[in-house]
Amino acid sequence: MSERKRILIVGGVAGGASVAARARRLSEDAEIVIFERGEHVSFANCGLPYHIGEVIPNRESLLIQTPESMTSRFAIDVRTRCEVVSINPKAHSILARNLDSGAETTEAYDKLILSPGAAPVAPPISGVNLSGVHTLRNIADMDAIKRVVDEDAPQRAVVVGGGYIGLEMTEALRLRGLEVTLVELADQVFIAADGEMVAPIHQQLELHGVDLRLGVSVSAIETAGEKLRVAVSTGESIECGLVIMAVGVRPEIALVREAGLDIGQTGGIAVDEHMQTSDPDIFAVGDAVEVTGFVDGGKTLIPLAGPANRQGRIAADNIFDRPSVYRDTQGTAICKVFDLAIGMTGLSEKSLVKSGLNYEKIYIHPASHAGYYPGAAPMSVKLLFDPNDGRILGAQCVGSDGVDKRIDVLAVAIRAGLTVQQLQDLELSYAPPYGSAKDAVNYAGFVASNVLSGDVKLCHTPDLIDPRGDQVLLDVRTIAEVDAAAIDHAVNIPLDDLRGRLAELPRDKELLVFCAVGLRGYLACRILSQNGFACRNLTGGYKTYQAVMTLRS
Would you say the C-alpha torsion 513, 517, 523, 526 has a positive or negative sign?
positive
Helix (H, G, I), strand (E, B) or coil at 15: helix
CA–CA distance, 70 with 269 (Å, rounded to integer): 27
Query: 390 in the Ramachandran plot: left (φ > 0), alpha (ψ -120 to 50) or beta?
Result: left
How many Å from the N-terminal Cα to the C-terminal Cα in the chain?
67
Separation between Cα atoms, residue 493 and residue 505, nearest integer Å? 10
46, 397, 459, 535: which one is catalytic? 46
Residue 385: name the closest of 418, 410, 361 by CA: 361
Residues 6 or more apart whose Cβ sits within 8 Å of residue 346: 294, 295, 330, 331, 332, 384, 392, 393, 394, 395, 410, 411, 414
* C-alpha angle 84-10-133 in degrees, rounded to nearest 5: 75
Question: What is the C-alpha to C-alpha distance for residues 4 and 24, in angstroms, rounded to an integer?
Answer: 11
Q: Is residue 459 annotated as a catalytic residue, yes or no?
A: no
CA distance 15 to 29: 21
Distance CA 271, CA 265 (A): 12
Q: What is the rounded CA–CA span in Å between residue 343 and residue 352?
A: 17
Neighbour count for residue 206 (Cβ, 10 Å)? 12
CA–CA gap between residue 171 and residue 52 (Å, rounded): 10
Widest pairwise Cα distance in the chain: 90
Pair 511, 535: CB distance under 8 Å: yes
Amino acid at 290: E
CA-CA distance, 172 to 338, in Å (whole number)?
9
Q: Which residues are catalytic?
A: 46
